[in-house]
Chain A
């Protein structure tokens, strides 16, 4: 456990460095720019009564597209061979992306508030929690699709493939009468929308976890030995292969295929 904790500072440096910041920030800034332009145009045209949560949803699509590139695992074959589980990097990237996405949404809400003063007839009455649930669902679906495509032969273009597929899934959920009954407000009530999208997010999260798992069984003891080479059993002269561990000489290949 201590050895794992010692690996954290190393990962804390590695994960932000490999994070696709430019892609994510471009997506979020594009979302903000599109939203600002729409608000400005509507304001100029005295059509702010048309501004609603649909405008926020639509303008967040570039951010959703950018998120599809976040779970990307750089140098995949090499990373898989290291003692650190393969899911650590994409999960770290997603954790770093979450506040950026939340900040983008918050900024959009602020812009909306300035354009449409509260308690006016134009004020959108749809509850915010339902919108947040929808966006969480969208993000989760996108990440799940990207994570699964990352396991396929299209891994190098996972984001480019995942984004259109995620958009198609969202569009189908939105427009198919059978799903719209529960996921779109109206006809669905806000509670149903929130529950529906959070359920989808939970399923997507489970699928993401399944997709990100290692392709093979990992020998976790190797991690301990690499983290503390001076105190490992190999130091005492006892052959580690006796205990079934992979030897340090096997290095990056400290894994055994199923």
Chain B
């Protein structure tokens, strides 16, 4: 693998050290560039087809696929580019380990003397290794291609940022250069593994690091708010500056690697000067990354969150207004489908108009977003967005968090059911105040009707619905100054994937299991009969005072 000597055909035969000038002559005559290029070509092939790089490529593609194939993440291009970079991080880790193994080859297992007898000096070999990093570029480009195809197949919103994708390639090259620098000094294979872990651990623990410094890390994917934005935000993240920082790191690592093998004083001086230049690039890029996001952009974002109507485009279909942020219009049909099905099943339509609106859940306390802004300004944004739509439910509105449709960890069926249940809750007259659950949980016929409507509209798997039946303890609300009482246990029901679609709507937070069981029994009855019973006394069934037992009796359902 990497322990063997370099294959020889591209090079002249070994020249023993200490041989006379006659022997050294042809070697000196050999153009150095040609040696470097020959070695680089061989090393590039070895790196490119090495199991480490291929494994890293596979791991990166699987990581990107895991995000998008499972529907965990909505494909938004202003975020997807960084997620593809997350895949590049896996490839970069593999690249670092592979480059370290290649660079440490000559000193590992006491092979230094053998390599010293070769016509290529250690300095030339290091230069060749650095040039061979080009062998990783096809793998990196392949990763980008796989990532782009994956995102594109999912129907993305927005357009990809070339700078972010390029930064991913630079990350791989920088990791390779760092691997060579490490391997030149530390030939033990553990050093490469440590280097890869040093690349990975900060990315995996960004939640522990100060928010403002997150973008200085080689790459980070998890702790950002890109997925909550309604569109790209200038300067968040600072992609160009980040690419420049990575390029600076790559040059610095390459200079360190060459510096360790260069013997000539003049070469060392030039390298030191280059090192200073690379350090300056890194510092400037770092400073640029810590620059605050333009206040006007954040002002606009806060307005979009506090007053979505000012930025959204609304369409009215039937009795429902759908208001979505620009660019999210393609979601209209999938959001409207379950709502329309519920409305079609209603025996009596309520008079007020229902609004289905996208809302934002941007966290203005995140220092990664508001870095460098005055505390007063941040407080103003927080005050402005405190009562933004979606933070609390409204009687005639269903709120969908932007960037979480239909994902947020669930499937489209789950999200459809949640929207359908929200629409049905509105249709049977639940108000925003109905979310405060009395003790003990109140049994209402109208929730059974709402669940029945949602089941008929979306047909979720019966087994999944049944999984939601559970027992839970509730304590009576303590009076002021008194201790909470002992909890009593009640059978309740919740939709197992209630988070899918990130829906905020009127309706009870706790649903007694009896209501679900009645709804389930209703689905077994002829639809026309249930419709007739509901239509005859609709006002009674949607009254908060009518119990599920009364509805069951009217339908002839026995427990």
Which A residues form the contact surface with B (CB < 8 A)?
Answer: 23, 26-27, 30, 34, 38, 41-42, 45, 47, 50-51, 55, 58-59, 61-62, 65-66, 69, 154, 156-157, 159-160, 163-164, 168, 175
- Bound form: Cα–Cα A50–B209 in Å: 10
Contact B204 A163 (CB under 8 A): no
New A-B pairs, 19, CB < 8 Å, besides A157-B2, A159-B189, A175-B66: A23-B190, A26-B190, A26-B194, A34-B201, A41-B209, A45-B210, A47-B207, A50-B208, A51-B208, A58-B201, A61-B200, A62-B193, A65-B194, A66-B190, A156-B3, A156-B109, A160-B101, A160-B189, A160-B190
Q: Give the Cβ gap from A164 to chain B, nearest Cβ, in Å.
A: 7
Contact B208 A62 (CB under 8 A): no
Contact B1 A55 (CB under 8 A): no
Contacts known (A30-B194, A164-B52); A157 close to B205, Cβ less than 8 A? no
- Bound form: Cα–Cα A23–B55 in Å: 25
Of chain A, the residue at the smallest CB distance from B3 is A156
With a CB–CB cut-off of 8 A, which chain A residues contact B94? 164
* Residue-wise interface mask of B (91-110) relative to A, using a CB-CB cutoff of 8 A (1 in contact, 0 not): 00010010001000000010
- Can you list 30 A-B pairs, Cβ within 8 angstroms, ordered by A? A23-B190, A26-B190, A26-B194, A30-B194, A41-B209, A41-B210, A42-B208, A45-B209, A58-B201, A58-B204, A61-B197, A61-B200, A62-B193, A62-B194, A62-B197, A65-B193, A65-B197, A66-B190, A69-B189, A69-B190, A154-B1, A157-B1, A157-B2, A157-B189, A160-B101, A160-B190, A160-B192, A160-B193, A164-B94, A168-B55
B499 interface residue (CB < 8 Å to A) = no
- Bound form: Cα–Cα A59–B208 in Å: 13
With a CB–CB cut-off of 8 A, which chain B residues contact A51? 208
Most buried by A among B193, B194, B207, B210: B193
Closest 9 CB pairs of A and B: A160-B189, A42-B208, A65-B193, A50-B207, A163-B193, A45-B210, A38-B208, A50-B208, A61-B197
Total cross-chain contacts (CB, 8 A): 66
Contact A38 B190 (CB under 8 A): no
Chain B 38-57 residues near chain A, CB threshold 8 A: 52, 55
Chain B 353-398 residues near chain A, CB threshold 8 A: none
Of chain A, the residue at the smallest CB distance from B104 is A160
Which B residues form the contact surface with A (CB < 8 A)?
Answer: 1-3, 52, 55, 59, 66, 94, 97, 101, 109, 188-190, 192-194, 197, 200-201, 204-205, 207-210
- Bound form: Cα–Cα A66–B94 in Å: 17
Q: Give the Cβ gap from A241 to chain B, nearest Cβ, in Å.
A: 38
Of chain B, the residue at the smallest CB distance from A163 is B193
Contact B101 A65 (CB under 8 A): no
Q: Give the Cβ gap from A146 to chain B, nearest Cβ, in Å.
A: 12
Contact B208 A168 (CB under 8 A): no
Contacts known (A62-B197, A154-B1); A159 close to B208, Cβ less than 8 A? no
- Bound form: Cα–Cα A175–B189 in Å: 27
Contact A23 B201 (CB under 8 A): no
- Bound form: Cα–Cα A30–B204 in Å: 16
Of chain A, the residue at the smallest CB distance from B93 is A164
With a CB–CB cut-off of 8 A, which chain B residues contact A34? 201
